[in-house]
Amino acid sequence: MQQFKVPIKSRYRIWDLGRFHLYGNGVYQACEGRGRNCIILSSMELPDFKYHPNPIATGSIVPSVEVCPVCGESRGFAYDGTPYGTKELEHICPWCIADGLAHEKFGVEFTDTEGVGGYGQWEKVPKEIVEEVAFRTPGFAGWQQEHWYTHCDDAAEFLGPMGKEELEQMGPEAVEVVREESGQQGADWECYFSKLDRKFTATAYLFRCRRCGQLGGYSDCH
Ligand SMILES: [Zn+2]
Ligand SMILES: [Zn+2]
């Protein structure tokens, strides 16, 4: 376990979720326990994922004391889940995702390449973009195979799994995008919409086009 000295003076805490503190200068602290009992596991800037800008908020990256199976280090953060691939690799650190080492070493994919564009549902994008999403970007865990929204000849950025409440917070456009994709309307939609939940039963996955800002996404259930 690496030790970190944190010059707290230069920072102000802007987000406290119990397990994470995000400071004004973009540095995350991964913690265990709350308040005074908080133990700092790690404090650092996460790598920049252009198609998944805040993997901590979406829940794809979590605090972890485990050793990353790719670099052999315990760096305080890890991928929550196992990527697609031949080996069941858990606790991959975000740095080994970002620099492509996890993919190069073990051939894993964080999103199925065919899932980028939603198996033909949305635009086809260049191979380099598909590979950046599939091989070097944290994925997310859907109930079914994950679909990654594409628009304007690019993959969109993932905003997170969402329930009714989160979608409503994102505004009417977000709700409409998910409704339209579901193919439901009227009372059927209202019933389905009321069941959408970030973690249980049925979940929506929202994306935003990096070029024009168009929201996109879908929902699924188990
Ligand atoms: Zn690693
Ligand atoms: Zn667009």
Q: Is the pLDDT confidence value at 22 over 90?
A: no
Q: Kindly list the protein residues that place their beta carbon closer than 5 angstroms to ligand 1, a single-atom ion.
A: 68, 70-71, 93, 96
Q: Give the span between the Cα atoms of 129 and 116, in whole angstroms.
A: 9
Could you give the percent of the chain with pLDDT greater than 90? 69
Contact between 205 and 162 (Cβ < 8 Å): yes
Query: Nearest ligand, CA of residue 208?
Result: 2
Average pLDDT (153-162) is: 97
Structure tokens at 8: 């707290």
Contact between 170 and 207 (Cβ < 8 Å): no
Query: Nearest ligand, CA of residue 105?
Result: 1
- Ligand 1 center to residue 70 CA distance, Å? 5
- Residues 143-156 have pLDDT tens digits of 999 999 999 999 99
- Ligand 2 center to residue 213 CA distance, Å? 6
Give residues with Cβ within 8 angstroms of 94, minimum separation 6. Answer: 46, 47, 49, 55, 61, 77, 78, 79, 138
Q: Kindly list the protein residues that place their beta carbon closer than 5 angstroms to ligand 2, a single-atom ion.
A: 151-152, 209, 211-212, 214
Residue for token digits 């329930």?
163
